[in-house]
Chains A and B, each alone.
Chain A
Amino acid sequence: MNTQLLISGIIFGLSLGGIFFLMSIGLSLCFGLMRIISLDQLLYYSVGAYLTYTIGLLVGDVWLGVIGGVVVAAIVSLLVERVVFRRIYERDLPFTMITSFGVLVGGVGVIKYFWGLIPRPVPVPIAAQVDIIGTDIPVYRLVIIGVAVLVYLGIWLFLNRTIIGKAIRAGTEDCEHVEGLGINVYRLFTITFIIAGGLSGLAGGLYAPLIMVDPQMGLEVLAFIFMVVIIGGLGSIKGTLISSLLVGQVVSLGSLIYAPLAQMAPFAVMLLILLVKPTGLFGSALQKR
């Protein structure tokens, strides 16, 4: 295997890992604080991608589309939280999983209603390429990696340096104590849910130029998101970052060695990790409160 192929493979894997991170961080945040499995994050991911397409087409600027996608995804997630999740925070995990899956499937139906079945292309906003050790790398992929790093740092700062973030972290440890301090936990839940939805929308918007946008896109990545979250351990943000980078590399480098491996290898890795450590790399044995 030559160096050029290897370098482009690694960069490709890093950018894929960045996308995976943005997509699964919503699921992870929701599990970490609220103990719900929110599959509808994949709906916000599709919403983000579709708005990037529509606004990009109307205004002619994909970046504006990405921003619009994030905003609309956050608004949709707020609505869903108000209507559905408000009522089911106390229920057990499979219950939230099925309900959120219903939201996802219904949402896919709505998307089909508005945008139709045909896959839509989104232009890549930065066509330039940059030379890294003799290999041409698309700048857009580097931008994705940068955004993922920024988002991780932003979440870290938010959770560790702001008072709301500290309250959220305290809520992860012990909800009742936080309530006892006079903090409205349900408001924290709403804030977390909106952040998660917005980040999923961001992932959709950023990933849209690299793939075709179609109604089933959320269901297609479902398996990969599950895998990232499981390998990292549900609810751990550091674990999500590490496992998404790992999965990105396994997909990218695996496909260099033997093409069908790109789809299979991550699942094999996941099964192995689960057999050794049933709660994932950084997951704790947290149960439903």
Chain B
Amino acid sequence: MNILRWWWGLLLAFALVAIGRAFLPLPFANEVLIFSIYTMGCNYLLGRVGFISFGQPAYLATGAYGAGFYLFYFGNNPYLGLLMGIAAGIVVSLIIGPLFVRLRGDYFALVNLALAVIIFYLMQKVLADITHGDNGLWYLTSLTSTPILDLTRPDQFFIFAFLVAFALWAFYKYLDDSIFGALCLATKINEDKVKFLGYSSFSIRLFAFVIANTTTALAGAMYAVYLGFVSPAITGPDRAADPVVVTILGGVGTLYGPLVGSVVYTGMKDVLSKIIGNWELVIGFLLVFIMLAGEKGIWGSLAPLLQKLFTRDGKAPDRGGSR
């Protein structure tokens, strides 16, 4: 029973996503899944390690271009493209990580943004011969169909994205309950004490940085495969804060925050932009409101209510859907 309880929240959430698939348009469902993977890395950095990063598009673009270069110049297999994106993410965050994780929180946010801008101009102008500048690389038609799950078809891509998202969720949940997860949280709260216990806060942060940004790179590679092209717009400075906004909307550091936030954010973008034409207004003031109202986010405020509803006398199973 304990194992079931451990998993039920996760299963329930993804059952909802699977049911949602029947009602929602396919591009929306795919967008939500990829976006939630994208946000997951940011959520881990912000909620568990205490790093706020305004530069997640940099790592998204790393993964997207890792996959894009492979698919455009070398091969046609989308799965290998995804692997290339992940590899690019690991390599880049291993190179950059040691430089960045030493910085103080506020500088970390700014330096990441700078990295995003550098990659943007690198891809748009400096490497224009290879990346075709603003036009981007198009390879949608040259992707080969793969057996079992055909990533070139949106409906099968949904199943793949669903499985990947589920696996990642399980992984992050496992991470949360492991010693490493506890150490991450501890460095956020009191770095000196962690050092005093004999752990290296530097390597903890580096490891978390690499994990989170590889997740983001995977999301980038998935975008590259799903959309069939990559262009520098993916890392544009105007989109720099998207993952941070979604993380806050969903609830910082909560397990389901990224999923809830992505659904709300993508939904607002789709629905509101049709109705009133400027959804920034709503997003911006919602963000301010959430921050002023106690920064718990949508999931963070919903979770206690749900717990009261589903468990007797309001006592939470401590490993249930509460995190």
Q: Decide: A226 and B287 in contact? CB cutoff 8 A.
A: no
Closest Cβ of chain B to A289, distance in Å, is 14
Q: Decide: B284 and A108 in contact? CB cutoff 8 A.
A: yes
Stretch from A12-20, A95-103, A145-153, A164-172 contacting the other chain? A95-103
How many chain A residues sit at the interface, stated as a range, is 35 or more
Tell me the chain A residues, 208-233 only, with Cβ under 8 Å from chain B.
216, 219-220, 222-223, 226-227, 229-230
Query: B residues within 8 A CB of A264?
Result: 118, 121-122, 125-126
Closest Cβ of chain B to A266, distance in Å, is 9
- Could you give, for residues 101-142 of chain A, a 1 whenever the CB lies within 8 Å of some chain B CB and a 0 otherwise? 111111111101100000000000000000000000000000
- Could you give, for residues 261-281 of chain A, a 1 whenever the CB lies within 8 Å of some chain B CB and a 0 otherwise? 001100110110011001100
Closest Cβ of chain A to B49, distance in Å, is 12
Q: Decide: B288 and A227 in contact? CB cutoff 8 A.
A: no
Q: Decide: A110 and B281 in contact? CB cutoff 8 A.
A: yes
Known: A264-B118, A267-B117. A98 touches B284 (CB 8 A): no
Contact of B121 among A37, A216, A260, A271 (CB under 8 A): A260
Closest Cβ of chain B to A281, distance in Å, is 13
Closest chain A residue to B289, Cβ basis: A102
Contact of A105 among B50, B102, B113, B283 (CB under 8 A): B283
Q: Decide: B282 and A226 in contact? CB cutoff 8 A.
A: no
Q: Decide: A260 and B291 in contact? CB cutoff 8 A.
A: no
Q: Decide: A108 and B280 in contact? CB cutoff 8 A.
A: yes
Query: A residues within 8 A CB of B105?
Result: 93-94
Q: Decide: A106 and B288 in contact? CB cutoff 8 A.
A: yes
Known: A108-B284, A230-B107, A274-B107. A101 touches B114 (CB 8 A): no
Q: Decide: B284 and A102 in contact? CB cutoff 8 A.
A: yes
Q: How many angstroms from the CA of A187 to the CA of B278 in the assembled complex?
A: 35
Residues of A contacting B: mostly: helix
Q: Decide: B110 and A94 in contact? CB cutoff 8 A.
A: no
B26 on interface, CB distance cutoff 8 Å: no
Q: How many angstroms from the CA of A99 to the CA of B284 in the assembled complex?
A: 9
Known: A105-B287, A108-B280, A274-B107. A84 touches B292 (CB 8 A): yes
Q: Decide: A101 and B109 in contact? CB cutoff 8 A.
A: no
Stretch from B141-149, B156-164, B236-244 contacting the other chain? B236-244
Closest chain A residue to B290, Cβ basis: A102
Could you count the A-B residue pairs with CB atoms below 8 Å apart for me: how many are there? 129
Contact of A230 among B110, B118, B280 (CB under 8 A): B110
A234 on interface, CB distance cutoff 8 Å: yes
Query: A residues within 8 A CB of B126?
Result: 260, 264
Q: Decide: B110 and A113 in contact? CB cutoff 8 A.
A: no
Query: B residues within 8 A CB of A223?
Result: 113-114, 117, 237
Query: A residues within 8 A CB of B244?
Result: 98, 101
Contact of B282 among A107, A109, A220, A279 (CB under 8 A): A109
Q: Decide: A109 and B114 in contact? CB cutoff 8 A.
A: no
Residues of B contacting A: mostly: helix
B104 on interface, CB distance cutoff 8 Å: yes
Q: Decide: B114 and A226 in contact? CB cutoff 8 A.
A: yes
A87 on interface, CB distance cutoff 8 Å: yes
- Could you give, for residues 96-135 of chain B, a 1 whenever the CB lies within 8 Å of some chain A CB and a 0 otherwise? 0001001111110111011101100110011000000000
Query: A residues within 8 A CB of B248?
Result: 98
Query: A residues within 8 A CB of B291?
Result: 88, 95, 98-99, 102
Q: Decide: B121 and A102 in contact? CB cutoff 8 A.
A: no
Q: How many angstroms from the CA of A101 to the CA of B245 in the assembled complex?
A: 9
- Could you give, for residues 272-287 of chain B, a 1 whenever the CB lies within 8 Å of some chain A CB and a 0 otherwise? 0000011111111111
Known: A98-B244, A267-B118. A219 touches B237 (CB 8 A): yes
Q: How many angstroms from the CA of A274 to the CA of B283 in the assembled complex?
A: 33
B191 on interface, CB distance cutoff 8 Å: no
Closest chain A residue to B50, Cβ basis: A94
B64 on interface, CB distance cutoff 8 Å: no
Closest Cβ of chain A to B97, distance in Å, is 13
Query: B residues within 8 A CB of A226?
Result: 110, 113-114
Tell me the chain B residues, 82-104 only, with Cβ under 8 Å from chain A.
99, 102-104
Q: How many angstroms from the CA of A106 to the CA of B281 in the assembled complex?
A: 4
B295 on interface, CB distance cutoff 8 Å: yes
Q: Decide: A112 and B278 in contact? CB cutoff 8 A.
A: yes
B225 on interface, CB distance cutoff 8 Å: no
- Could you give, for residues 227-242 of chain B, a 1 whenever the CB lies within 8 Å of some chain A CB and a 0 otherwise? 0000000000110110
Closest Cβ of chain B to A261, distance in Å, is 9
B217 on interface, CB distance cutoff 8 Å: no
Q: Decide: A220 and B284 in contact? CB cutoff 8 A.
A: no
Q: Decide: B118 and A219 in contact? CB cutoff 8 A.
A: no
Q: How many angstroms from the CA of A227 to the CA of B107 in the assembled complex?
A: 10
Closest chain A residue to B110, Cβ basis: A226
B34 on interface, CB distance cutoff 8 Å: no
Q: How many angstroms from the CA of A68 to the CA of B286 in the assembled complex?
A: 30
Q: Decide: A109 and B122 in contact? CB cutoff 8 A.
A: no
Known: A98-B244, A278-B103, A278-B107. A267 touches B114 (CB 8 A): yes
Query: A residues within 8 A CB of B50?
Result: 94
Known: A94-B109, A264-B126. A220 touches B292 (CB 8 A): no
- Could you give, for residues 40-84 of chain B, a 1 whenever the CB lies within 8 Å of some chain A CB and a 0 otherwise? 000000100010100000000000000000000000000000000
Query: B residues within 8 A CB of A105?
Result: 241, 245, 280, 283-284, 287
Given contacts A88-B291, A264-B125, 5 further A-B contacts (CB under 8 A): A94-B50, A101-B287, A105-B280, A220-B237, A230-B110
- The contact sample of 8 A-B pairs, CB cut-off 8 A, is A94-B52, A102-B285, A102-B286, A109-B278, A226-B113, A267-B118, A271-B114, A278-B104
